[in-house]
Amino acid sequence: AQSVAQPEDQVNVAEGNPLTVKCTYSVSGNPYLFWYVQYPNRGLQFLLKYITGDNLVKGSYGFEAEFNKSQTSFHLKKPSALVSDSALYFCAVRDMNNNAGNMLTFGGGTRLMVKP
Amino acid sequence: GAGVSQSPSNKVTEKGKDVELRCDPISGHTALYWYRQSLGQGLEFLIYFQGNSAPDKSGLPSDRFSAERTGGSVSTLTIQRTQQEDSAVYLCASSLTGRRSYNSPLHFGNGTRLTVT
């Protein structure tokens, strides 16, 4: 079975400061990892993914994420937060051994609040 | 359209009534997924379609829930005899399938907000 944990329900950061949203995962095989963002009354939007290769992955809107195999983590980061980054962020994992197509298992979400 | 389309965007229904939610995936996407998101919570997997067949129905919460997909395109999620605990946002997503599909992201619609009174 595959699972994802986002230990923080909410992260507060001041505009211009760096931000980190934490994610850890559990899979039996190789993980494929994704971050999505959800703005109010909207569906989820894809931000970035890790499949293989460089552990530091760059995505949309200046976000990046670092894959750490030994710590089974895939934390989302941004060097300088914007108020417009305030949203709900979801980490997701797919296990290559999962038979359900490329069904993703999502974490519980972390609300990011960026204050001016 | 270019994205996943869901209708209606909002649905208010009385307890005990049946509802149908519709999802129109991105053209060419053979995989289709239904998730449920309760207020401020994470996503709960409901069902997955590959073409018209549903190899994974494990997430459907009860036999009041059913889904179908015809022509490899539009899908409907039906909830019979709705209960208040069914109130949630129902999200549909589609993706490519095939040999290289495992790294393809899911593309989500804006969801249907269901309120059962």
**What's chain B look like in SS3?**
CCCCEEECCEEEECCCCCEEEEEECCCCCCEEEEEEECCCCCEEEEEEEECCEEEECCCCCCCCEEEEECCCCCEEEEECCCCHHHCEEEEEEEECCCCCHHHCCCEECCCEEEEEC
| pLDDT, average across residues B40-49 | 84
Q: Distance, in angstroms, between A87 CA and closest chain B CA? A: 11
B1 pLDDT band, cuts 50/70/90, is low
Q: By CA distance, what is B102's nearest residue in A?
A: A102
Bigger pLDDT: A115 vs B1: A115
Q: Tell me the average pLDDT of chain B.
A: 89
Q: What percent of chain A has pLDDT over 70?
A: 94
Contact A10, A109 (CB under 8 A): no
Would you say residue B104 has pLDDT above 80? no
Residues from chain B contacting residue A25 (CB–CB below 8 Å):
none
Residues from chain A contacting residue B48 (CB–CB below 8 Å):
100-101, 103
In a mutational test of the A interface, the residue from B43, B44, B95, B115 whose CB has the highest number of chain A CBs within 10 Å is B43
Q: Tens of pLDDT along A51-96?
A: 888 899 999 999 999 999 999 999 999 999 999 999 999 999 987 6
- Shortest CA distance to A4 belongs to which of A64, A101, A72, A60? A72
Identify the pLDDT of residue B39.
74
Would you say residue A101 has pLDDT above 60? no
Contact B38, B30 (CB under 8 A): no
Contact B52, B69 (CB under 8 A): yes
Identify the pLDDT of residue B72.
80
Looking at the DSSP bridge assignments, the partners of residue A58 are A64
Identify the pLDDT of residue A102.
59
Which position has the token pair 């108020």? A83
